[in-house]
Structure 1
Amino acid sequence: MSDATESIRREMVKEINHEPGSREDLEQKHGKVWDTQEMQKEFEQLGFIAPLIVVRRRSDGIKGSLKFQHSPRFYFDWSPD
């Protein structure tokens, strides 16, 4: 099965993880940032394909996506669908 987004995602992963940002750096660029426990509290995980995770916000049921970096693992750039 072919994945039309693979090359785009691979570039995103390289860019995000080349120089992983601190929480403060990510907050300046993207606003709110979550560590794993915070993300799991606020969102239900529906699926992921690096560097994106599909989630449902627990407070109102809105589906959307977050980006994540590998290490340190932070989630950011919430985008509702």
Structure 2
Amino acid sequence: MTDPTEAIRRQQVVEINSDPTGREALECKHGKVWNTSELQEDFEVVGFLAPYVIARRKSDGQQGSLMFQGSPRFYFSFQPE
């Protein structure tokens, strides 16, 4: 089975990680940003396909996706389904 999103996701991984951004810059661009421990407090991760994770927000059960960068590891841009 082929993944029709693989080429796009691979390019996004390269773009995100070619110039890793600090937390403040990510917050200016995307709003709320989480490090790994903060993400675990607010979400249950149910799957991932880099540079995305699928997660369920603990406060209300809303499922959606977040993007992430590799290093420093930050999650951002929560998009509810």
Specify the TM-score bucket, using the shorter chain as the normaliser: over 0.9
- What CA distance in whole angstroms lies between the structure 2 residues aligned with 1:6 and 1:48? 12
Give the equivalent residue in structure 1 for 2:60. Answer: 60
1:75 CA displacement = 0.2
**What percent of counterpart residues are identical?**
59
TM-score by length of 1: 0.98
- What CA distance in whole angstroms lies between the structure 2 residues aligned with 1:14 and 1:28? 21
- Segments of 4+ in structure 1 off by > 6 A? none
5 Å-filtered alignment, 1:1-80, equals 1-80=1-80
Structure 2 gap segments, 5+ residues each = none
Backbone CA RMSD of aligned residues: 0.4
Structure 1 gap segments, 5+ residues each = none
- The alignment covers a number of residue pairs equal to 81
- What CA distance in whole angstroms lies between the structure 1 residues aligned with 2:20 and 2:28? 14
